[in-house]
Amino acid sequence: MSKHIIQVPDIGGSEDVEVIEISVAVGDSVQAEDTLLVLESDKASMDIPSPMSGRITRLLVQEGDKVSQGVQIIEIETEGEAASSATEQPTAAKAESTATAPVAPAPAPAEVSSATVSQQRQAIYVPDLGGHAQVEIIELPAKVGDQLQAEDTLLTLETDKATMDIPAPVAGELVELLVKEGDKVSEGDLIAYLLTADSSASATISSNSAPAPAEIAPSAPAAPVTSAPREQEVRVPDLGGHSQVEIIELAAQIGDQLAEDAPLITLETDKATMDIPAPFAGELLELKVKVGDKVSEGDLIAILRTQSSANPAPVAASASQSSAAQTSAPQASAPIAAPAATSPAAPKASQPASSGKVHAGPAVRLLAREFGVDLSLVPATGPRGRILKEDVQNYVKAILQQPRSTTPSTAASSGAGIPPVPVQDFSQFGEIEEKPMGRLLKAGAVNLHRSWLNVPHVTQFDQADITELEDFRKSIKAEAEKQGAKLTPLPFIIKACALALETFPQFNVSLGAEGDTLIWKKYINIGFAVDTPDGLLVAVVKDANKKSVYQLARETADLGARAQKKQLKGEDMKGSCFTISSLGSIGGTAFTPIVNAPEVAILGVSKASIQPVWDGKVFQPRLMLPLSLSYDHRAINGADAARFTSFLSQVLADIRRMLL
């Protein structure tokens, strides 16, 4: 029996990596390669496998500890004769599925005694590149000294159409790297030496075990040009034996004039991304696929209208590059490439320009996809405008550090993309006192800001002659009071608005979530703004169209009073279809109220005043009520807004019309 202290192996230079899981307990029997514990850095999680079979006798770390290479983690008792308390390192950490790290097959079980480890220096060559030669190395993710797992990316190549990873064909230490970024390589070029722990595995290394060749379909034959346009199909070319390959990006849009070889769509296998370019120049008439579709050789992708009367034979675009890396090692690695985070429904501005190709390696694309980052928006710092992982990370950091303006928040913030108002030290100009905004004020600020930014506002102004209405109101005021109703102009205005909403139902809608539908409401609830010492509230009169003026007067007085006393319940403030903001008791001649989104219109009411109105013969003194109707121009057109306020004016000028 002997005891062995197991240490953290080489974990790719990472330090202070957190132990997130201890997979064994004291007394457990483990086999070589069984996971002892799991580490997690900000880049990857790694299993630390046992280098030997035995029984766990001591745990030297606990979950949450931070460890680095060489830290003692576990004591194992074995049946063998090895020296007691020898310290052992697992041969390598096993990178698990993570954001970027491929999952590698477990290394061959490490023998306890170093004497039994047969190490061999293995030459690594560039595999068949599908007929491409002199392909540029754009990234060298591995450094000399790194312990690589089979399938770890050794280097990334980029043609003008695609990026592809060249993985390590076996596990081992990278002892020599014979190329650098910017070098151009072809099939068979010697690129690196790995020190492998298992000679039997390494013996098979050759260019044959590297990624399988990508078969490149012939480009469209040159066709004689004629003036007659014709529609030609574009089909998926030979994908190097791959089928059902996912479309991760549509690089062109219907109506685009494409040059020959301009990217049409981008596909992604588990190892590489590849562009399918237009095989000939022409206008993109139809796209038969969408992001997320899976395609195979021969599938119809698009219809192009070309000027060429070419032989319709060029059915397949040429895959500009396919680097389906079929290695002899198990296909356990994580997907490498990722699309820019765009979707067909995304606003055009956020999609990569069809002409402007994003240069990014598969690992960077994966990272971007995981964070939902549109790579076309990421400033590139790599050679030839290539986007590096750090670029994506910096972009995400920058976004996170921006004030949140599009998500609900308790603070009124600046708008997306709008430069914030500079912060000033007002105390330099005089005495100041900074106090927190009240809850109601903050909530109001956020709601108003959100509506202001989201809704394209237009305000329609009008005036209603309420001379007769006011005479009538005053004449029945006392009677109304006996019935418990304080009769101000507001209940009449609510009644008139309810009738206007019945007559113009396009004002009683909300935009659907995607902005391409309208939700028509069959009920008429009218909100009205109440000014309270703590801020603005909107109380809601339900089914206003079904209530009498007296009922409306009682209800608005009750809601207004309760609002002042902070006694409104949640349901008193919900479900409004249209809002009235009346400043009539205060003053003003007109204002532009902000639509109470998701409603699509709001009526501002200012103070009525006597105005000279021409009756055809003379000016008459009339009591005119200013109306300001703000509306969401996405849902309502200006002519309807003018009709709506004209209707309101007519009804308020002669309330008998409410009976009609």
Residue 608 engages ligand CAO in binding (rule: CB under 6 A): yes
323 burial (CB, 10 Å; 0-12 / 13-18 / 19+) is buried
Find all residues with CB under 8 Å of 608, minimum gap 6, and list them: 466, 470, 489, 584, 623, 624, 625, 626
Q: Which is nearer to ligand CAO, 321 or 463 (CB)?
A: 463
Residue 582 engages ligand CAO in binding (rule: CB under 6 A): yes
Residue 489 engages ligand CAO in binding (rule: CB under 6 A): yes
Q: How far is the CB of 96 from ligand CAO (least distance, A)?
A: 56
Choose the stretch contacting ligand CAO; rule: CB under 6 A; options: 94-102, 269-277, 435-443, 600-608: 600-608
DSSP letter for 125, please. E
Exposed e or buried b per residue across 399-435, where buried means at least 16 C-beta atoms within 10 angstroms of its C-beta: eeeeeebeeeeeebbeeeeeeeeeeeeeeeeeeeeee
- Examine residue 505 and say whether the peptide bond preceding it is cis (omega within 30 degrees of 0): no
Nearest to 49 by CA among 109, 129, 104, 102: 109
Using CB under 6 A as the binding rule, the residues of this chain from 538 to 557 that contact ligand CAO are 556
Q: Which is nearer to ligand CAO, 51 or 560 (CB)?
A: 560
Q: How far is the CB of 631 from ligand CAO (least distance, A)?
A: 16
Task: Name the residue type at position 357.
Answer: K
Q: Tokens for 317? A: 């675009």
Using CB under 6 A as the binding rule, the residues of this chain from 121 to 150 that contact ligand CAO are none
Out of 200, 311, 585, 637, point to the residue binding ligand CAO (CB under 6 A).
585
Q: Tokens for 373? A: 């980052």
Q: Which is nearer to ligand CAO, 513 or 586 (CB)?
A: 586
Residue 337 engages ligand CAO in binding (rule: CB under 6 A): no
Q: How far is the CB of 548 from ligand CAO (least distance, A)?
A: 16
DSSP letter for 420, please. P
Q: How far is the CB of 101 from ligand CAO (least distance, A)?
A: 55
596 burial (CB, 10 Å; 0-12 / 13-18 / 19+) is buried
Q: Which is nearer to ligand CAO, 192 or 603 (CB)?
A: 603
Choose the stretch contacting ligand CAO; rule: CB under 6 A; options: 158-166, 346-354, 483-491, 519-527: 483-491
Q: How far is the CB of 583 from ligand CAO (least distance, A)?
A: 5
Q: What is the number of the residue whose Cβ is closest to ligand CAO?
A: 584
Q: Tokens for 168? A: 């390590």
Find all residues with CB under 8 Å of 53, minimum gap 6, and list them: 29, 30, 31, 32, 78
DSSP letter for 354, please. S
Decide if 351 contacts 376 (C-beta within 8 A).
Answer: yes
Out of 560, 577, 601, 649, point to the residue binding ligand CAO (CB under 6 A).
560
Query: Per-residue x/- mask for ligand CAO, residues 38 to 77, rule CB under 6 A?
Result: ----------------------------------------
Whole-angstrom Cα Rg for the chain: 36
- Examine residue 598 and say whether the peptide bond preceding it is cis (omega within 30 degrees of 0): yes
CA distance linking residue 111 with residue 36, whole number of Å? 16
CA distance linking residue 92 with residue 103, whole number of Å? 13
H/E element, 647: helix 638-653
Decide if 127 contacts 190 (C-beta within 8 A).
Answer: no
Q: Tokens for 188? A: 């068979």
Pairing of strands 17-22, 66-67: antiparallel
Q: How far is the CB of 597 from ligand CAO (least distance, A)?
A: 14
Choose the stretch contacting ligand CAO; rule: CB under 6 A; options: 163-171, 202-210, 219-227, 488-496: 488-496
Q: Which is nearer to ligand CAO, 175 or 557 (CB)?
A: 557
DSSP letter for 316, please. B
Decide if 605 contacts 627 (C-beta within 8 A).
Answer: yes
CA distance linking residue 104 with residue 318, whole number of Å? 32
Q: How far is the CB of 623 from ligand CAO (least distance, A)?
A: 8
CA distance linking residue 334 with residue 352, whole number of Å? 25
CA distance linking residue 519 with residue 476, whole number of Å? 39
Decide if 156 contacts 271 (C-beta within 8 A).
Answer: no
Size of the site for ligand CAO (CB under 6 A): 20
Q: Which is nearer to ligand CAO, 163 or 581 (CB)?
A: 581
How far CA 443 is from CA of 196, 480, 537, in Å, comes to 63, 36, 10
Choose the stretch contacting ligand CAO; rule: CB under 6 A; options: 26-34, 325-333, 351-359, 486-494: 486-494
Q: How far is the CB of 442 from ligand CAO (least distance, A)?
A: 15
Place of tokens 């132990």: 19
Choose the stretch contacting ligand CAO; rule: CB under 6 A; options: 44-52, 180-188, 345-353, 604-612: 604-612
Q: Tokens for 543? A: 């089914």
Q: Which is nearer to ligand CAO, 426 or 452 (CB)?
A: 452
CA distance linking residue 475 with residue 314, whole number of Å? 86
Residue 91 engages ligand CAO in binding (rule: CB under 6 A): no
Using CB under 6 A as the binding rule, the residues of this chain from 405 to 464 that contact ligand CAO are none
* The one catalytic residue among 132, 449, 457, 633: 633
Decide if 579 contacts 510 (C-beta within 8 A).
Answer: no
Out of 584, 596, 641, 653, point to the residue binding ligand CAO (CB under 6 A).
584
Q: Tokens for 173? A: 């230490």
Using CB under 6 A as the binding rule, the residues of this chain from 512 to 541 that contact ligand CAO are 528-531, 536
Q: Which is nearer to ligand CAO, 83 or 610 (CB)?
A: 610
Q: How far is the CB of 62 from ligand CAO (least distance, A)?
A: 58
Q: Which is nearer to ligand CAO, 337 or 538 (CB)?
A: 538
Residue 171 engages ligand CAO in binding (rule: CB under 6 A): no
Choose the stretch contacting ligand CAO; rule: CB under 6 A; options: 290-298, 362-370, 583-591, 627-635: 583-591
DSSP letter for 547, please. S
Q: How far is the CB of 508 from ligand CAO (least distance, A)?
A: 21
Query: Per-residue x/- mask for ligand CAO, residues 269 to 308, rule CB under 6 A?
Result: ----------------------------------------
Q: How far is the CB of 477 from ligand CAO (least distance, A)?
A: 7
633 is catalytic: yes
Residue 605 engages ligand CAO in binding (rule: CB under 6 A): yes
Q: Which is nearer to ligand CAO, 203 or 561 (CB)?
A: 561
Q: Which is nearer to ligand CAO, 124 or 538 (CB)?
A: 538
Using CB under 6 A as the binding rule, the residues of this chain from 620 to 649 that contact ligand CAO are 625
Nearest to 141 by CA among 358, 327, 367: 367
Q: Which is nearer to ligand CAO, 280 or 528 (CB)?
A: 528
Binding site for ligand CAO (CB under 6 A): 488-490, 528-531, 536, 556, 560, 581-585, 593, 605, 607-608, 625
User: What are the residue numbers of the active site?
Assistant: 633
